[in-house]
Amino acid sequence: MIYFALLCAFCNCVAYAIPVSKNEKFTDITIIGTQNDLFPFFGGSAPYFSYPMNSGVSVEAPDKCSMKQIQLFARHGERYPTNSTAQLIKSTYGKLKNAHLNSTGSLSFINDDYCFFLEDPTQFEELTTLKNVIDPIDPYSGQQDAQRHAREFMYHYGDLLENTTTLPIFTSNSKRVHDTALYFGQALSNKLNISMQVISEEASSGANTLTPYNSCKDYNETEHAAIYAKFPKDYLSGISRRLLLENPGLNLTTSDVTNMFSWCAYEIDTRGYSPMCEIFTREELVYYSYNLDLISYYGEGAGNSLSADVGSVPFNSSIELLKQSEYLDNKVWLSFTHDTNLINYLTAIGLFDDGLKLPADHIPFRQSSYHRSWMVPLGARIYTQLYQCGNESYVRYVVNDAVIPLEQCSTGPGLSCKLSDFLDYAEKQLQKTNFLQDCKVEQSSNQTELTFYWDYQKMHYNAPLFLSEPH
């Protein structure tokens, strides 16, 4: 006990060596990996997992078809919480540490030789790596996720790189996004030169960015806060009441309880498991998860009035790349950014929009296909595949390892959409949007088109990296 208290104090819990003597830390080995079934409940804060509802159709090009182009639009990998979330978790930790917790209750782990995972503020906002994780055997670091993803990429799409010597990788200039892209690029192949194209997140980038909502003047994530505020919070007060029964005098607010959910998710990212996760029942996780879906749907998904406008920027470029596939030397287009940008993009495509507004008074168990954590877990990856079968070309989406057919167009081989039909569909989707006008882009920037896929060789994008959100 004392030994561990000292160890914690001296190294701030960060990356201690794998213990060689018999002690409690060996228990990590038996616990890590046992919480994977919780990942879908955290709205995208827990480690990567594959899309759970899979038709079973292979992600390989179907028989007698050959892959012609692949586009990737990816989220950064597993990370430490942002500074603001870390501060909230720390405040709740402080409350628990100072409370006289029941030594046999569900929070009693705090009394034991527990090493808090947010002692080192220099790691907040950072990707988790082999160097900064709390437990060296944490299998969920953002670094390893990106490296594994790159090897899988080579397995599926490596043939498209046969004539490539220098491969551009497009990334926003957020450090964790950049680091994910870099680990991914380095793990692809030592026969490739990777050319990092670092695109600024600033509003002045206008449309020429991977983060167009920053240039959207009227984009308001909380425009429908009044709707999702109505979602019953009984599940939070229920948890707080249960913990009070166990620990007389423990006065936790519903915000504390919300912080404990984030604690659970981010501790898994950084340590590989979290004792905090064990205090929640499955029912409570279901309520929490839907609460996050609701906030996301109205804040960044189809429920937001400008989400599709913003997402039309990458969607339009993706369509241009498909149209020009035959003429472009590069067959592989890799882009890395944040969760919200992926959701805006999916909204513009219309991939997970069943046209029904999410209700705030109950959970729509039977109808909704909007699950934030299924769409954008840490390390999320949206692929656009273009393949040719005979003399015809086809397009389809693969989201987090699962083929996700377009509801309106899926009769091609492998549940794909014939390219010409897809272009008609895309045109209709884009006609519903007007990024420049609806977002008043010209008030903040003179960049009215996304050009970096076409002019990177001339421009050499290298915006300076930043750690925390610029806004």
Ligand X SMILES: *[C@@H]1O[C@H](CO)[C@@H](O)[C@H](O)[C@H]1NC(C)=O
- Residues of this chain that interact with ligand X (CB under 6 A) are 83-84, 87, 102, 104-105, 160, 162-163, 165, 191, 193, 220, 222-223, 225, 246, 248, 251, 316-317, 320, 331, 390-391, 446, 449, 468
- Least distance CB 214 / ligand X (angstroms): 14
Instruction: Rank residues 33 and 94 by Cβ distance to ligand X and give the closer one.
Output: 94
Three-state SS at 422: helix
CA distances for 54 relative to 343, 345, 401, 416, angstroms: 19, 21, 9, 15
* Angstrom distance (rounded) from CA 295 to CA 207: 26
CA distances for 23 relative to 28, 29, 33, 133, 330, angstroms: 10, 12, 20, 20, 53
Instruction: Rank residues 54 and 240 by Cβ distance to ligand X and give the closer one.
Output: 240
- Least distance CB 391 / ligand X (angstroms): 4
Q: What single DSSP character describes residue 169?
A: E
Q: What is the CA radius of gyration of the chain?
A: 23
- Least distance CB 327 / ligand X (angstroms): 12
Strands 392-399 and 381-389: what pairing?
antiparallel
- Least distance CB 251 / ligand X (angstroms): 4
- Least distance CB 144 / ligand X (angstroms): 25
- Least distance CB 468 / ligand X (angstroms): 5
Instruction: Rank residues 144 and 393 by Cβ distance to ligand X and give the closer one.
Output: 393
DSSP annotation string for 129-156:
-TTT-SSTT-TT-HHHHHHHHHHHHHHH
Instruction: Rank residues 23 and 420 by Cβ distance to ligand X and give the closer one.
Output: 420
Instruction: Rank residues 322 and 382 by Cβ distance to ligand X and give the closer one.
Output: 322
Indicate which residues carry an active-site annotation: 76, 339
CB count in 10 Å sphere of residue 105: 17
Note the Cα 12 to chain centre separation in Å.
27
Residue tagged 């913003």 (tokens): 310
Instruction: Rank residues 317 and 385 by Cβ distance to ligand X and give the closer one.
Output: 317
Instruction: Rank residues 41 and 80 by Cβ distance to ligand X and give the closer one.
Output: 80
* Angstrom distance (rounded) from CA 251 to CA 57: 51
3-state SS, 432-455, equals CCCHHHHCCHHHCCCCCCCCHHHH
Instruction: Rank residues 56 and 248 by Cβ distance to ligand X and give the closer one.
Output: 248
CB count in 10 Å sphere of residue 11: 14
Three-state SS at 236: helix
- Least distance CB 175 / ligand X (angstroms): 13
* Angstrom distance (rounded) from CA 324 to CA 331: 10
- In single-letter form, the type of residue at position 196 comes to M
Q: What single DSSP character describes residue 424?
A: H
State in Å, rounded, how far the first CA of the chain is from the last one.
43
Contact yes or no for 319/425 (Cβ under 8 A): no
- Least distance CB 456 / ligand X (angstroms): 13
Closest CA to 326 of 388, 384, 383: 388
- Least distance CB 387 / ligand X (angstroms): 12
Instruction: Rank residues 100 and 131 by Cβ distance to ligand X and give the closer one.
Output: 100
Residues 6 or more apart in contact with residue 170 via CB below 8 angstroms: 181, 197, 199, 210, 333, 334, 335, 336, 452, 453, 456, 461
Taking each continuous run of H as one helix and of E as one strand, the counts in the chain are 15, 8
* Angstrom distance (rounded) from CA 236 to CA 241: 9
* Angstrom distance (rounded) from CA 260 to CA 287: 14
